A and B are shown apart, each in its own frame.
Chain A
Amino acid sequence: MSGLTLIFGLFFYVSIAIFLVGFMAKVWKYGSTPAPLKIPQTPAPVSAPGVGVRYLQEVFVFKSLFRGNKVLWLGGYLFHLGLLFVLLKHLRFFIAPTSSILSTLVKFDVYSGFILVAALIFLLILRLAIDRHFYISLASDYALLLLLIGIGGTGLLSRFWENGHVRPSVPEVKNFVAGLVTFHPASVPEHKLFLIHFSLVMLLLIYFPFSKLMHAGGVFYSPTRNQIDNPREKRWVNPWAKQVTAAAAAPAAAPVAAAEEPSEG
């Protein structure tokens, strides 16, 4: 095994570990922090399936964003759609015998990478051009967009820079990735472009759990969106106020056992 392979192999494992552990720790924290009161932003669904529908609309159509800002929605939606397809296509490096759906996707979808990068540039322009967005943007917001543009850009380049040596071949990459996944590291493709692309993705994974990218997990824990609007029908119990309630309620202490356990929210 070459030194380069060792370095990139380790880089991969460390990044993946930080990403997975960090992501799960954050989500665990979101999930385990109590929601003392019912605060759904109404009009809200009055049943659990209703909340499911609300989420489908938020996650697959970005409904609230659409209401809030159509231009931003267009940029944001195209970016995430592009990202989704690009990620799906990357599966071909991980799944051993490429499935037929995947190969069809790879064959026919030649646009998603472009859409991804174009949308990111559009989002960057919005940040710079709209006075309000410029005011609220932080250095880290720009850095993240640039990082993603870097990833998308190097990815696209590796697809089109055909001339012999520059373009890493799919089998080579696949071999390397398969090695990583099965813990039998195969040698890393020694293409500068690939190495840059790969490194940037690893940086993104490391940064992910510590950044606003956690919206991908956090959105599901937003009490204004995930709570059922039924406070009168079903008593919501605040887990940390039991003692207080019992103390304040001299005559009619709440029969807590009979009440709803706060499972959602």
Chain B
Amino acid sequence: MAEPPAEKTAVETVAESVINKNFKVPELIGEINVPRVEDGYRRKGVTSAIKPHMAKPAVQAKVGFPETLVDNWEEAAVKRLGELLEKYKSLQVYLDICVRCGSCTDKCQFFIGSNDPNNMPVARAELLRRVYKKYFTTEGKIFGKLAGAHRLDLNLLSDWYAYFHQCSQCRRCSVFCPYGIDTAEISMAAREIMDSIGIGQKYVNEILGKVHEIGNNLGMNPKALAATLESTEEDIEEEDGVPVKLPLDQEGADVLLVTPSADFFASPHIESLIGYAKVFHQAGISWTLSTAASEAGNFGMFIGSYTQLEKVAARVRNAIGELKPKRLVVGECGHAWRVAYSFWNTLIGPFDTLDPRYPAPQHIVEFTLDLVRRGAIKLDKSANDEFTVTFHDSCNVARGSRMGDRPGGQFTMPRELIKASCNKYVDMDPSTTMEKTFCCGGGGGLLTDEILEIRVAGAMPRMQALHAVMESDGVNFMALICAICKAQFTKVLPKYGIPMTVAGGVHQLVGRAIELGAKE
């Protein structure tokens, strides 16, 4: 790309994007074909102009970042990179040891769906590695471009802003890398550097602002929250004739449930909330939601900011202090569960006020399945006979967490629970499930409409695998355990000509199958 014309400021160049409303949706053929990297050697990629909106100065300020691109941005970015290299072993090692073997090159859904070579994980990582080499390695200082070193100029920064927002931090590449190089770690670092020099992403940083200010990603105030919960209670009672409660801020309840705020009103998310409520009701376990911790999601991870991660997580610790529950359970959300499972103990632990007999935190699937196994709740599979169900392993659950005591419980336990709730279950192609699962295409802070084109492209592999089982086995329900997956699929399925009702929650199935009423 030529140098930008003089009248454009640096920040405008970086933000400059093209929103193509009439993009081509990949055709459903039931197979996942890896595209050929066409002609151009180091050409400008086809998706380089797909960029999320930039956060406004006020939003940046609210989250504690410079309001706009700082004047000495190149220097400041290099300095920040240097600091991160001292703080993150992953970054230091991964920037150093990639041999460019190519094993990861055909593993990213965004490359497969977009055919932009910069979306190959190693090529994405090279965007940052170039700068690392230039300023931090002897090899790069001596051999320069021959060794892939490059200074962080405006073109490269512009590519950073595009391609590090075309990575959902799903870690699929890491599974196939001989050294486990995790491009998610690299894109987190790149986003943190960009934030630190004043270019943040609107969608994610606005949400972080809302969490700090109001308490959840959707900016739902306590009054509105109480009102939706009440009306949901009414809906359940109307439908099932059973007074199932959705308690809020009940001190001394046994279980504190922390769930993504989308569960409170988005569709199909709310169906899972109803499912959780019915499980607690029928098991006779007292529980509560919390206004302080009315959000399980933690977008601090998406921008790689430890401070933000910690600040968002602190709300959960406060809720525990306030409500004094014995157990901590987390609702259906992929990245939220990764943060909860892997990071909470570090960020806000130890959980020594909780009952040590239960894992802290516990996933709602672990919680419900335990009740099913013990016979404490009964499920009537025939209630879901209209469905042939498949399961999408959310990548953050699959590759960044566990359920139960054994490795791989995150695959077997949701399946066991689904199979206990319905009669017809089919898995998708094994090259697209479990640890090899493809991302829905909307994770990692990509769930914003101006980049719908890349979201649709990234969903392609999953859509192909889903289409295949819809054709072969008549699948008409894809069960999910992630709020972002649910939102992404409801948006993207129709683009592929699939009804959006095919996407739903695991506890949606549980909620339909659970036998309410007196226990024998």
Contacts and interface: CB of A to CB of B under 8 A. Distances in A.
B135 interface: no
Interface in B324-351: 341-343, 345-350
B182 A252 contact: no
A206 B252 CA distance: 65
A98 interface: no
Given A139-B146, A219-B97, A254-B349, A224 B102 contact: no
Interface stretch (B53-61, B69-77, B118-126, B280-288): B118-126
A91 B36 CA distance: 45
Contacts of A248: 310-311, 314
Contacts of A139: 143, 145-147
B233 interface: no
A244 B346 CA distance: 12
Nearest to A236: B346
Interface string A7-46: 0000000000000000000100110011111110111111
Interface stretch (B6-14, B18-26, B81-89, B472-480): B81-89
Given A33-B89, A36-B306, A231 B99 contact: no
Interface in B93-149: 93-94, 96-107, 117, 120, 122-123, 126, 137-139, 143, 145-148
Given A42-B400, A215-B97, A224 B350 contact: no
Contacts of B343: 37-38, 231
A67 interface: yes
Interface in B129-172: 137-139, 143, 145-148, 171
Interface in A158-182: none
B306 A222 contact: no
A108 interface: no
A241 B349 CA distance: 13
Interface string A53-72: 00000100010110111001
B435 A43 contact: yes
Contacts of A214: 96-97
Interface string A125-156: 01100111111111111010000000000000
Nearest to A215: B97
Interface stretch (B271-279, B406-414, B458-466): B406-414
Contacts of B398: 42
Contacts of A39: 90, 182, 185, 342, 400
A197 interface: no
A264 to B, nearest CB: 11
A218 B96 contact: yes
Nearest to A46: B407
A42 B123 contact: no
Given A26-B96, A126-B102, A224 B180 contact: yes
B387 interface: no
A135 B92 contact: no
Nearest to B43: A135
Contact of B402 (A26, A42, A241): A42
B102 A251 contact: no
A224 B96 CA distance: 15
A138 B146 contact: yes
A138 B92 contact: no
Contacts of B267: none
Given A76-B101, A138-B146, A245 B347 contact: yes
Interface of B: 34, 36-38, 41-42, 85-90, 92-94, 96-107, 117, 120, 122-123, 126, 137-139, 143, 145-148, 171, 174-182, 185, 306-307, 310-311, 314, 317, 321, 341-343, 345-350, 352-353, 359-361, 398-402, 405-408, 410-411, 435
29 contacts: A33-B85, A33-B93, A34-B88, A37-B346, A38-B343, A39-B182, A43-B411, A46-B405, A50-B407, A62-B178, A68-B103, A132-B102, A135-B41, A135-B117, A136-B102, A138-B146, A141-B99, A212-B97, A212-B98, A212-B100, A221-B89, A222-B93, A224-B180, A225-B180, A231-B346, A244-B307, A245-B347, A249-B348, A252-B353
